[in-house]
Structure 1
Amino acid sequence: MSEGVEWALHSCLNLAWAESGTAVTATKLAAFYGLPAAYLNKQLQALARAGIVTSTSGPRGGFRLAKALKDITLMDVVVAIEGPDAAFRCQQILRSGPDADPTADYRTACVIAQAMSRADLAWRRELAAQTLADIRATVESRSPDTPELTRNRLAAR
């Protein structure tokens, strides 16, 4: 998984803590963690295409959440950034093994591919079961000052 997923998840939380109704530029969001703004902007654009954030151009432009955090799952963000494909892709190397049938579709018969598919499904279910509201609640319970500190830092730049 690319670092863009982590960046996108943190950016969504920061947008939630930003001043209500205020658009935040990719530059401000990137500066928050010392990230390259151009690369973070690509992640934010992917979130916009997925309907997770909205993008407004112009002097007061930037990004805002398009949905409530309770309506954004971790899986939504992963799919927006990484795409919908499974993490494991069976390359059917069994076709090249001893006594192999070169015409067989080993993706369905391969025990390793089956195990990886089950693991991928469990991972996706877990990510789909957690919303950004859940993450926000945990962060705020552990660090109650985070929303205000984030708002102040985003407003100061």
Structure 2
Amino acid sequence: MNETMVCVVGNVATQPVFRETAAGASARFRLAVTQRYWDREKNAWKDGHTNFFTVWANRVLATNVQASVSLGEPLVVRGRLKVRSEQRDGQSWSGADIEASAIGHDLARGTAAFRRTLRSDQASDQMSDRGSGTPTRPEPSWETEPADRADAAAQHQEPALAM
């Protein structure tokens, strides 16, 4: 596979457009990616050239873009780069598209509240278990071990070998 995979960081330049087609959901928006550099003479950051990419999202990613992405928000987009060249009215024209595989908010410039979406099989499982009060697939516990368990584990470790 000789695909050009890119990861770009920029701001949403147009409101996302969402379409439901026979092939599934599709969303597109423009992303402005501006180069920033340190100007030593002025001792300040300065904006350089801005590139614009058309970002395409399909299926579940498109649905989540519709619910989560708005004009002006800072994003990180990963996907396949596709450069198009066309002739329009005798003029040569080119553009760059990104077929997105992942899109997320840039947390270096703000906060986000993540909400997991349910796949159709998860949704039906959860609906059947609503009466029982127990989720079908509980989230893993990411808590650290209680101190007494950590101390017991440390006591059972093998001593380090001396060289």
More strand by share: 2
> Which category of TM-score, normalised to the shorter sequence, fits these structures?
under 0.3
Structure possessing the higher radius of gyration over alpha carbons: 2
Q: What is the TM-score with the length of structure 2 in the denominator?
A: 0.25
Higher relative contact order (CA closer than 8 Å, sequence separation 6+): 1
